[in-house]
Amino acid sequence: MITLNSNEMKVYGMIINYIIPGLAPGNYMARDFFGNTPTIPRVVRRICEEVKAGNLSKVSLIGRKSSDGYKIK
């Protein structure tokens, strides 16, 4: 699993704890998790790794890659 630096961990924590739980069920692209800020590829990779490992029960991949999108339950 990719190791994030402290700034990336803050962004990752915000996405996992606040943004994803607040999203309505549906399909989303990784850029949707970042709002108006630029997407951080390392954070997206970590989210993808967590989803593939089954650590985020509310989130699943639509395809095989992060670029295919995510399904929020």
- 24, 61, 28, 65: CA torsion to nearest 10: 170
pLDDT of residue 56: 93
**Strand ranges in the chain using DSSP code E only, listed in sequence order:** 26-28, 59-61, 70-72
Report pLDDT digits (tens) over 40-68.
Answer: 999 999 999 999 999 999 999 999 999 99
Q: Are strands 70-72 and 59-61 parallel, antiparallel or unpaired?
A: antiparallel
pTM above 0.75, yes or no: yes
CA distance 13 to 32: 15
CA distances from 63 to 23, 27, 35 (A): 20, 11, 22
Report pLDDT digits (tens) over 21-31.
Answer: 999 999 999 99
